[in-house]
Amino acid sequence: MNQQKQSLSFTGLPAYKKLSDHHKQIKNVHMRRLFSLDPKRFEKFSIEHHGLLLDYSKNRISSETIALLCQLAKEAELEKWRERMFKGEKINNTEDRAVLHTALRNCSDKPVFVDGEDVMPKVRAVLEKMRIFSGELREARWKGFTGKPIKHVVNIGIGGSDLGPKMVYQALNPYHHKKIKLHFVSNVDATHINALLKKLNPETTLFIISSKTFTTQETLSNAHIARGWFLKAARDEKHISQHFVAVSTNKKAVSEFGIDTENMFEFWDWVGGRYSLWSAIGLSIMIGIGAENFNKLLQGAYDMDEHFQQAPLEENMPVILAMLGIWYNNFFKAESHAILPYDHFLRGLPMYLEQADMESNGKSVDRDGRRVDYSTGPIIWGTTGINGQHAFYQSLHQGTKMIPADFIVSIQAHFNFQKQHNIMFSNVLAQTEALMRGRTYEETYAYLTAAGEGPPNLSKRIHHMVFEGNHPTNTILIEKLSPRSLGMLIALYEHKIFVQGIVWNLNSFDQWGVELGKQLAKQILDKIYQPNTVDSHDASTNALINYYRDRVRLD
């Protein structure tokens, strides 16, 4: 019955029509005007939760916009779906799976049931196993085959089994263990792993093979290279157990690879790959920052889970971020969304969110399999903001495309470089202000004449130096980048993605779109080794396979 109701198309919801009408009224209103009309705009359009501040006042919205967007979320039955997710119902309908990354960070004593079983005891048991193992490594009690302590840990994984742990490890640099260094290998291009192995000593290196399925070609092929490199030095397979552990849902494949399942850290099919850093996939993080800090990361995410479940929609950070995204994506027809952390340690965040968001909501059929007639997940992209300023910001300011952006920065710097931090912070505000206000013809004229410019330079340049402004941004201020605040930030984006998926009526938790390429890659690999000329593909693919085969040694 409810499933039936959920099938109501996004564009058929009553609030969608109201928002379309409202959009006509507001689309040409400049944010300068909105700010001048309402000096309380910041108070009205900002939310603070446990030291995380979202200022969304520099958006092309009024109170009516927010009310209508929240109405749209309600009509899409967001609250009901949110409850279903947290309760462990199988909302991933194409894979018949629950979606319970929130159980991994459930810091309460409440049970979470999947198929009638409370999953919390096994979640806690794996966390405990991770704590013991990472403690042994960190305290140099876990020894390599020649009795030396481990100094380098290499996580081999790809996608969700790489991007999350790598991003978090980078982000929490000040919390790193002093003697153990983490490395992340994902690319099947062997130059990646080979360049790393050259620097490492097999006696002091431990590999974590991280793969939910343990069938991913890139990961297994890198794992075999690592195994070969290790055995060349260790000369006996019995030493593998001291240097290789696995994180997976697939016990059978782990043991077939030759890793003792005693050295396997388990997780479950109700943890999506791109939502898995909270699970045993976070083992590398725990080794890097310690169990106590890992728990704080979980605690931060839990804080956001609580906020997401309890705050009214109008004051709910993930809901507001999500609905603003929908406002631009579906009404202003913006095609992308930029993630701009002003923090070197957060440099992995844009790439992490590319997967989290685009693999979740880059879908063109709704959850019932019907082709959608509206735009879904935007292109997510970005880099550290300060570098972006000297690269692509020109287009943000004066290009023809609307590119909404999130500016993310911490208040407290980690190291004692306060002056540098002040420079960075002022750049964030300068950019968001410039994007919002722009610079009018009159202001540009005054600026040029004050700088002593007269004709002909003035008339030649003035039109190029006018900024229209009215570009929407969110500013996210983090009190200090710590395990807890990072946990909150990541969970904020996870829930934003969830909300958008619900409103667009998508299943955000499958990823069939990456399968076809994987299947074809296997077929093409076989063809590369075939003795005959390849003619079973299209003319372009045939010719390229044959061209390649003619030029490489295949033995």
The residues that are catalytic are 359, 390, 518
Residue 54 or 158 with smaller CB distance to ligand F6P: 158
Tell the burial category of 535 from Cβ atoms under 10 Å away from its Cβ (0-12, 13-18, 19+). exposed
What minimum distance in Å lies between the beta carbon of 199 and ligand F6P? 25
Examine residue 377 and tell whether it contacts ligand F6P (CB under 6 A).
no
Examine residue 279 and tell whether it contacts ligand F6P (CB under 6 A).
no
| DSSP codes joined into one string, 354-398 | IIIIIIHH--SB-TTSPBPSS--SPEEEE--HHHHHTTTHHHHHH
According to CB under 6 A, which one of 144, 165, 202, 273 is a site residue for ligand F6P?
Answer: 273
Q: Of the listed pieces 27-35, 152-160, 377-385, 448-456, which binds ligand F6P according to CB under 6 A?
A: 152-160
Q: How far apart are CA 280 and CA 250, in angstroms?
A: 13
Q: Of the listed pieces 84-92, 213-221, 343-351, 471-479, which binds ligand F6P according to CB under 6 A?
A: 213-221
Q: How far apart are CA 215 and CA 339, in angstroms?
A: 32
Instruction: State the CB neighbour count (10 A cutoff) for residue 498.
Output: 26
Q: Are 509 and 82 in contact (CB under 8 A)?
A: no
Residue 125 or 514 with smaller CB distance to ligand F6P: 514
Query: What's the token pair of residue 61?
Result: 């919205």
Residue 276 or 432 with smaller CB distance to ligand F6P: 276
User: What is the Rg, in whole angstroms, of the alpha carbon atoms belonging to the chain?
Assistant: 26
Query: What's the token pair of residue 481?
Result: 């980048």
Q: Quick one: which of 349, 360, 406, 352 has its CA closest to 506? A: 360
Q: Of the listed pieces 120-128, 212-220, 258-266, 394-402, which binds ligand F6P according to CB under 6 A?
A: 212-220
The stretches of 59-189 forming alpha helices (DSSP H) are 63-75, 78-86, 120-138, 163-171
Q: Are 146 and 281 in contact (CB under 8 A)?
A: no
What minimum distance in Å lies between the beta carbon of 85 and ligand F6P? 18
> How many amino acids of this chain bind ligand F6P (CB under 6 A)?
14
Residue 211 or 482 with smaller CB distance to ligand F6P: 211
- Does residue 456 have a cis peptide bond before it, meaning omega lies within 30 degrees of 0? yes
Q: How far apart are CA 326 and CA 499, in angstroms?
A: 10
Examine residue 213 and tell whether it contacts ligand F6P (CB under 6 A).
yes
Mapped onto helix, strand or coil, the DSSP state of residue 207 is strand
Q: Quick one: which of 235, 44, 242, 45 has its CA closest to 141? A: 242
According to CB under 6 A, which one of 37, 446, 514, 525 is a site residue for ligand F6P?
Answer: 514
Task: Say which amino acid occupies 120.
Answer: M
Q: How far apart are CA 484 and CA 300, in angstroms?
A: 4
Distance of CA 239 to the CA centre of its chain: 36
What minimum distance in Å lies between the beta carbon of 359 and ligand F6P? 6
Contact mark string toward ligand F6P, 340..359, x via CB under 6 A: -------------------x
According to CB under 6 A, which one of 22, 82, 274, 437 is a site residue for ligand F6P?
Answer: 274
According to CB under 6 A, which one of 216, 242, 376, 505 is a site residue for ligand F6P?
Answer: 216
What minimum distance in Å lies between the beta carbon of 54 and ligand F6P? 28
According to CB under 6 A, which one of 219, 279, 500, 508 is a site residue for ligand F6P?
Answer: 219
Contact mark string toward ligand F6P, 48..67, x via CB under 6 A: --------------------
* Beta strands at 152-156 and 205-210: parallel, antiparallel or unpaired: parallel
Residue 136 or 269 with smaller CB distance to ligand F6P: 269
What minimum distance in Å lies between the beta carbon of 233 and ligand F6P? 27
According to CB under 6 A, which one of 65, 211, 242, 473 is a site residue for ligand F6P?
Answer: 211
Q: How far apart are CA 353 and CA 336, in angstroms?
A: 13
Residue 265 or 328 with smaller CB distance to ligand F6P: 265
What minimum distance in Å lies between the beta carbon of 187 and ligand F6P? 13
Mapped onto helix, strand or coil, the DSSP state of residue 28 is coil
Q: How far apart are CA 313 and CA 318, in angstroms?
A: 9
Residue 60 or 274 with smaller CB distance to ligand F6P: 274
Contact mark string toward ligand F6P, 156..195, x via CB under 6 A: --xxxx----------------------------------
Instruction: State the CB neighbour count (10 A cutoff) for residue 392.
Output: 15
Examine residue 212 and tell whether it contacts ligand F6P (CB under 6 A).
yes
Q: Is 504 left (phi over 0), alpha (psi -120 to 50) or beta?
A: alpha
* Near ligand F6P in 427-486, by CB under 6 A: none
Q: Of the listed pieces 41-49, 153-161, 389-397, 477-485, which binds ligand F6P according to CB under 6 A?
A: 153-161
What minimum distance in Å lies between the beta carbon of 210 and ligand F6P? 7
Examine residue 511 and tell whether it contacts ligand F6P (CB under 6 A).
yes
Residue 237 or 256 with smaller CB distance to ligand F6P: 256
Residue 57 or 161 with smaller CB distance to ligand F6P: 161
User: Residue 284: which H helix or E strand, with range?
Assistant: helix 283-289
Q: Quick one: which of 285, 303, 302 has its CA closest to 294? A: 285
Residues at the site binding ligand F6P, with contacts judged by CB under 6 A: 158-161, 211-213, 216, 219, 273-274, 359, 511, 514
